[in-house]
Structure 1
């Protein structure tokens, strides 16, 4: 399993970020080919209380599936949309996820 983690620093306007993120960006993400699951959180920390306002996680079957999704027209649309709402930028972290033997 391979994951894509996106961390969003504090935006200039939280309400504008949330509107665009929910109404435009998440629907674009949902169209990524090979997407197994996705989850997000907004308002992770209070203003000026931490380094990140929001977090997004997408799950793919493999690194190859993630790479293909990002290279696809849908992936290009997702990446092109980020500057439209993420005024604080975005930190993107792809990683191979492991599950522990016991939980």
Structure 2
């Protein structure tokens, strides 16, 4: 079991500018969050021809709830959160999740 912060980004006004800023500026900020064990991201496509509900989803993983809470309250997470206004023109939805692996 791991704990995750999911960040769902709405479609940005300028996707190319979003992509450049996200990869060159925002990822380094997010990777600095203490307790982070894994960080994944990817653009979203629908399984049919409909418009997907978001542009991209990022997942930040932590070993346990204590590490998640510590990471969320850290100065590094605060800096990453404040940075959203610099590029996330399509809005952002965030949630936490306790994940269970099924094998």
Query: Does TM, normalized by the shorter one, top 0.5?
Result: yes
Q: Which residue of 1 aligns with 2:81?
A: 79
Q: What is the CA–CA distance in structure 2 between the aligned matches of 1:60 and 1:17, rounded to whole Å?
A: 26
Runs of 4+ in 1 over 2 A off after TM superposition: none
How many residue pairs end up in the alignment? 99
Q: Give the drift of 1:32.
A: 0.6
Residue 45 (structure 2) pairs with residue 45 (structure 1): yes
Alignment equivalent of 2:62, drawn from 45, 60, 63:
60
Taking structure 2 as the reference length, the TM-score comes to 0.89
Q: Give the drift of 1:29.
A: 0.8
Q: What is the CA–CA distance in structure 1 between the aligned matches of 2:10 and 2:33, rounded to whole Å?
A: 23
| Aligned-pair Cα RMSD in Å | 1.4
Q: Which residue of 2 aligns with 1:33?
A: 34
Q: Which residue of 1 aligns with 2:5?
A: 4
Gaps of 5+ in 1: none
CA deviation string 1:45-87 (max 9, x = no partner): 38x8221111100110112211111211101101000111100
CA deviation string 1:77-102 (max 9, x = no partner): 010001111001111010101112xx
Q: What is the CA–CA distance in structure 1 between the aligned matches of 2:81 and 2:65, rounded to whole Å?
A: 17
Gaps of 5+ in 2: none
